[in-house]
């Protein structure tokens, strides 16, 4: 049983399968149950929103979509630091949006939506549920 297994708990069958793997695992093996990662739809929505914000420059703030992503992640409490690049321009370092869970991504999108609406951003796509 030297292989790693990932089982998505989508049915009773998958739950039973996971239990069997746990029962057969040797002492010292590690089992983990975690919330699923963000969806591709959430990721696409986030980048569309970041592009809208970047193009429209609310409050006269001019940033790239990547910079806006780091700013919003930091505002939501996820650690993100800025480091000076070789050209002297800061770039974000730290927590990546690809590591966000579905609920964390929903929180980020909801925050961006509220902030953008409060600051006059006109969304290019119809607002969709982020969940």
How do the residues of the chain divide into helix, strand and coil, expressed in percent and rounded to 5? 50, 10, 40
pLDDT value for 4: 75
Residue 131 is given by DSSP the state: -
Helix (H) or strand (E) holding 39: none
Q: Which of 48, 44, 50 is nearest to 73 (CA)?
A: 50
pLDDT value for 130: 46
pLDDT value for 2: 58
Q: Is the dihedral of CA 70, 91, 54, 125 positive or negative?
A: negative
Ordered by where they begin, the domains of the chain are 1-33 (no CATH), 40-118 (1.10.3790.10)
pLDDT value for 127: 57
pLDDT in tens, 12-42: 999 999 999 999 999 999 988 889 989 999 9
pLDDT beneath 50: ranges in the chain: 129-131
CA atoms within 13 A on the CB side of 61: 16
pLDDT value for 54: 95
pLDDT value for 80: 67
pLDDT value for 13: 93
Q: Long-range contacts made by residues 69-74, C-beta under 8 angstroms, separation at least 24?
A: 69/97, 70/94, 72/108, 72/111, 72/112, 72/115, 73/97, 73/108
Strands 80-84 and 90-94, by their bridges, are antiparallel
């Amino acid at each position: 049983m030297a292989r790693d297994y990932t089982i998505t708990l989508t049915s009773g069958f998958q739950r039973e399968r996971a239990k069997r793997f746990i029962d057969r695992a040797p002492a010292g093996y590690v089992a983990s149950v975690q919330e699923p990662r963000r969806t591709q739809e959430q990721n696409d929505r986030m980048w569309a929103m970041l592009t809208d914000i970047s193009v429209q420059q609310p409050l006269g703030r001019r940033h790239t979509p990547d910079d806006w992503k780091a700013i919003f992640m930091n505002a939501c409490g996820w650690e993100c630091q800025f480091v000076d690049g070789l050209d002297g321009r800061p770039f974000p370092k730290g927590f990546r949006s690809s590591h966000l869970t579905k609920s964390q991504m929903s929180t980020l999108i909801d925050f961006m939506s509220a902030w953008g609406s409060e600051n006059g951003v006109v969304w290019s796509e119809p607002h969709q549920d982020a969940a």
